[in-house]
Chains A and B, each alone.
Chain A
Amino acid sequence: MNHEPECNCTGKSRRRFISRRDLLFQAGGGISGIALAQLLGSQGLLAAPAAAPHACVGSAGVTDSPFLPKPPHFKARAKSIISLFMCGGVSHVDTFDYKPMLEKYHGKPLEGKGEVLVRQGYPGPLMKSPYQFKQYGQSGKWVSELFPNIGGVVDDIAFIHSAQGRSADHTLSHYEWNTGMIIAGYPSMGSWVTYGLGSENQSLPAFVVIHDPRGGPFTGSAQWSSGFLPAAYQGTVFRSAGDPILDLHPDAGSLSPEQQRAELDALARMNQEYVEKHPGISELTARISSYELAFRMQGCAPEAINVDDESDETKRLYGLDNKVSEPFGRQCLMARRLVERGVRSVQLWNGAVVNQNVDTWDAHNSIVDNHGRHAPEVDKPIAGLITDLKRRGLLNETLVLWHSEFGRMPLSQKGVGRDHNPGALTVWMAGAGIKGGQSIGATDEFGYKAAEQVVTAHDLHASILYLLGLDHKRLTYYYNGRNMRLTDVAGELIPQIVA
Chain B
Amino acid sequence: MHRKSSVKTAGTLLAMVSLLGLLSIAARGQKSQAAEVSAILAKCQQCHGTAVQMSKLSVATRDALLQGGAHGPAIIPGHAADSLLFKRITGQEKPAMPMAPLSPLTPDEIATVKAWIDQGAPWPEEAKPAPAANQPADASLLSYNGYHERPITDADRQWWAFKKPVRPAIPQVQDPRWSNSPVDALVKAKMEAKGLTPAPPAGRRALIRRAYLDLLGLLPSPAEVDAFVKDPSPHAYEDLIDRLLASPHYGERWARLWLDVARYSDSTGYEYDYDVSDAWRYRDYVIKAFNQDKPYNQFILEQLAGDELDKPTFDSLTATGFVRLGPRVLDRDLENPNYRYDYLDDIIRTTYQSFQALSVNCARCHDHKFDPITRKDYYKTIAVFNGFIEYDHPLVSSEEWAKYQTASDEINGKIKALRQQVTAIEAPYRKAQFQKILAKFPADIQEAFNTPEEKRTQGQKLLVAQVSTVRGEEEQDFNTGAHPALIKVSAEDDQARAKLLEQIEALNKQMPPKPPVALGVRDGDFRFIPHPPFQQGSLGGIVYEKYGFTGKYIPAPGDHYQPPPTYFAATGLMPFADEMKAPIVEPGFLTVLAKPSQQPFADPPKNGYPTSGRRRAFAEAIISEDNPLTARVMVNRLWYQHFGQGIVTTPNNFGKMGTPPSNPELLDWLATEFMARGWSIKQMHRLIMNSETYKMASDYYTGTDAEKDPTNQFLWRFPVKRLEAEIIRDAVLSASGDLNFQAGGKPFFPPVPEAVTSQVPTKGRWEKTEEGPATWRRSIYAYVKRNLKYPMFEVFDQPDAALSCERREVTTVATQALTLFNNEFFLLQAKDLAGRVTREAGGDPAAQIKLLYRIAFSREPSARELREAEDFLKRQTKPGGQSALAEFAHVIFNTNEFLYIN
Chain A residues within CB distance 8 Å of chain B: 1-2, 64-67, 107-109, 114, 120-126, 169-172, 183-185, 205, 211, 215-222, 225-228, 230-232, 234, 236-237, 239, 242, 245-251, 253-256, 259-260, 262-264, 266-267, 269-271, 274-275, 277-281, 283-284, 286-287, 290-291, 293-298, 352-354, 356, 411-416, 450-454, 456, 459, 478, 480-483, 490, 492
Contact = CB atoms under 8 A, between A and B. Distances in A.
A126 B466 CA distance: 13
A109 B342 contact: no
Interface string B862-876: 000000100010011
Contact of B759 (A215, A281, A453, A481): A215
A454 B444 CA distance: 34
B459 A107 contact: yes
A247 B652 CA distance: 35
Q: Which of A211, A232, A271, A413 has the most CB of B within 10 A?
A: A232
A230 B822 contact: no
Given A122-B462, A183-B342, A247-B821, 14 more contacts: A123-B462, A169-B271, A169-B329, A169-B331, A215-B760, A217-B761, A230-B811, A236-B815, A267-B891, A278-B699, A278-B902, A352-B761, A413-B470, A482-B369
A251 B827 contact: yes
Given A107-B459, A354-B761, A482-B359, A218 B94 contact: no
B46 interface: no
Contact of A481 (B359, B753, B799, B822): B359
Given A172-B329, A266-B872, A219 B787 contact: yes
Given A230-B797, A245-B815, A290-B813, A278 B881 contact: no
Interface in B856-902: 868, 872, 875-876, 878, 880-882, 887-888, 890-891, 894-897, 900, 902
B349 interface: yes
A17 B95 CA distance: 53
Interface in B794-832: 794-800, 802-803, 809-819, 821-824, 827
Contacts of B881: 253-256, 259
B815 A255 contact: no
10 contacts: A122-B469, A125-B459, A171-B329, A221-B759, A247-B821, A247-B822, A266-B888, A267-B895, A275-B896, A293-B817
A481 B814 CA distance: 31
Contacts of B657: 478, 481-483
A108 B701 contact: no
B353 interface: yes
Nearest to B899: A287
B821 A108 contact: no
A279 B710 CA distance: 11
Q: Determine the interface band of chain B, counting residues with CB < 8 A from chain A.
A: 35 or more
A284 B896 contact: yes
Nearest to A296: B814
Contacts of B331: 169
A245 B818 contact: yes
Contacts of B92: 450-451, 454
A121 B469 contact: yes
B21 interface: no
Q: Which 9 A-B pairs have the closest CB atoms?
A: A185-B802, A353-B761, A481-B359, A216-B759, A125-B459, A294-B817, A232-B811, A171-B271, A293-B814
A450 B875 CA distance: 70
A414 B270 contact: no
Given A221-B787, A277-B699, A453-B91, A480 B758 contact: no
Contact of B94 (A274, A480, A490): A490
A234 B797 CA distance: 10
Contact of B795 (A231, A262, A411): A231
A228 B803 contact: yes
B872 A415 contact: no
Contacts of A452: 90-91
A348 B791 CA distance: 21
A283 B803 CA distance: 26
Contacts of B760: 215-216, 219-221
Contacts of B794: 231, 234
A67 B812 CA distance: 10
B890 to A, nearest CB: 6
A262 B819 CA distance: 18
B756 A481 contact: no
Contacts of A267: 891, 894-895
A120 B761 contact: no
Nearest to B824: A251
A185 B887 contact: no
A453 B875 CA distance: 70
Interface in B623-646: none
Nearest to A458: B94
B791 A246 contact: yes
Contact of B362 (A296, A413, A482): A482
B809 A124 contact: no
A123 B465 CA distance: 8
B588 interface: no
B271 A1 contact: no
Contacts of A237: 759
A5 to B, nearest CB: 14
A246 B756 contact: yes
Q: Which of B462, B653, B880, B894 has the most CB of A within 10 A?
A: B462
A7 to B, nearest CB: 15
Q: Which of A218, A219, A237, A291 has the most CB of B within 10 A?
A: A219
Nearest to B872: A266
Contact of B371 (A205, A291, A450, A481): A481
A71 B81 CA distance: 45
Contacts of A120: 469-470
A232 B789 CA distance: 14
A286 B812 contact: yes
A259 B887 contact: yes
B458 interface: yes
A411 B466 CA distance: 11
Q: Which of B82, B710, B787, B823 has the most CB of A within 10 A?
A: B787
A222 B270 CA distance: 9
Q: Which of A2, A259, A453 has the most CB of B within 10 A?
A: A259
